[in-house]
Amino acid sequence: MRFEVTTLGTGAALPARGRFPSAQLLNVRERLFLIDCGEGTQERLRMAGVNMNRIARVLITHMHGDHFLGLMGVISSMHLLGRTAPLHVHGPADLREVIELQLRVSKTFLRFPLHIHAVEHRSGAPVFGDEVVTVTGLALRHRVESTGFLFREAPQPRHLIKEKVGLIPHYARSAVKEGQDLVLPDGTVVPNAELTAPADPQRAYAYCSDTAYAPELVPFLKGVDLLYHEATFLEELAARAKETMHSTARQAATMARDAEAGQLLLGHFSSRYKDPEVLREEAVQVFPHTMLAQEGCTFQVGRSAVHA
């Protein structure tokens, strides 16, 4: 079942040729989330062949323009495309005022219900959950309040062992998949372990941008399959990173190593780096499984994706 992220924009605040501001599309078992929404995100979605109206939730980390200036365009286009399904937007408390002001002055009356939820700036705080995925906050360190997101897949059912499927009456199959023993009509109990194999592991994805180096997040990121972490600068500009509250590639890699992440995905590259490969080269010295986000590329979330 699908768990993948498409990086729509990988640039930092100032535009660089061929790079766009932050935005990602996350697909967790066909639930679509838009994470951050820099200027031009709707064009990036179109280029990626995504039907915008399939997006149920938008998550915004913080109120810097390169992370939210595209949101009004996305909302307007959803309206023009005839959306009727509700849209949920999660983000900083000030986001509501920004959206409502623009709707008011443009006299736009949306055809669909728009629900804006304020996100609590606290690691582990619940953001959203359903039967497929839970989303919790990550208290990033930045010049304005910035909250990252951790997506954890819900537990999956156990696998029925092929040779044993015939033994299990239809009505009992879902209970057995959930781990219950099978009780046959004559009272015989068949232990679950004889009928099923372990479920696939729960996969997890974390989004950390924008942030200074924040080692206090490591316990919340432990064992995450894919960690997206900003890497605005090289270590030689560590002082600049500290002052602007961003991270270096080396710091991003240190987070991935300490969190025992499966893979690291770097993004939010400063426009001074024409080729972000230098950032990857720095990161792999600390954490080998490091990839670079690229406009329109899709990355799989899961241990099987490592070395793929």
Catalytic residues: 66
- In whole angstroms, the minimum distance from the beta carbon of 62 to Zn ion comes to 6
Is residue 36 a contact residue for Zn ion (CB under 5 A)? Answer: no
What is d(CA 153, CA 223) in angstroms, rounded to the nearest whole number?
13
Is residue 210 a contact residue for Zn ion (CB under 5 A)? Answer: yes
Please say which residue, 156 or 244, places its beta carbon nearer to Zn ion.
244
List the Cα angle 23/25/261 in 5-degree steps.
90
Please say which residue, 83 or 268, places its beta carbon nearer to Zn ion.
268
Is residue 177 a contact residue for Zn ion (CB under 5 A)? Answer: no
Q: How far is CA 279 from CA 74, 94, 138, 156, 179, in A?
A: 31, 33, 24, 36, 45
Tokens of residue 254, six digits: 């240190």
Site of tokens 């810097």 = 64
What is d(CA 19, CA 16) in angstroms, rounded to the nearest whole number?
5
Tokens of residue 117, six digits: 């939820």
Is residue 64 a contact residue for Zn ion (CB under 5 A)? Answer: yes
- In whole angstroms, the minimum distance from the beta carbon of 154 to Zn ion comes to 31
- In whole angstroms, the minimum distance from the beta carbon of 142 to Zn ion comes to 6
Q: Which residue stretch of 62-70, 126-134, 190-198, 211-219 sits at the interface with Zn ion (rule: CB under 5 A)? A: 62-70
User: Rg for the chain (alpha carbons), in Å?
Assistant: 21
- In whole angstroms, the minimum distance from the beta carbon of 247 to Zn ion comes to 11
Helix axis angle, 277-284 relative to 249-258, nearest 10°? Answer: 40
Please say which residue, 210 or 225, places its beta carbon nearer to Zn ion.
210
Residues in the interface with Zn ion (CB under 5 A) total 2
What is d(CA 241, CA 244) in angstroms, rounded to the nearest whole number?
5
Please say which residue, 44 or 64, places its beta carbon nearer to Zn ion.
64
Is residue 153 a contact residue for Zn ion (CB under 5 A)? Answer: no
Q: How far is CA 22 from CA 126, 262, 307, in A?
A: 23, 23, 26
Is residue 203 a contact residue for Zn ion (CB under 5 A)? Answer: no
Q: Which residue stretch of 70-78, 82-90, 191-199, 208-216 sits at the interface with Zn ion (rule: CB under 5 A)? A: 208-216
Shortest CA distance to 226 belongs to which of 276, 300, 119?
A: 300
Q: Which residue stretch of 1-9, 64-72, 102-110, 247-255 sits at the interface with Zn ion (rule: CB under 5 A)? A: 64-72
- In whole angstroms, the minimum distance from the beta carbon of 134 to Zn ion comes to 25
- Please report, as ranges, the residues that interact with Zn ion according to CB under 5 A: 64, 210
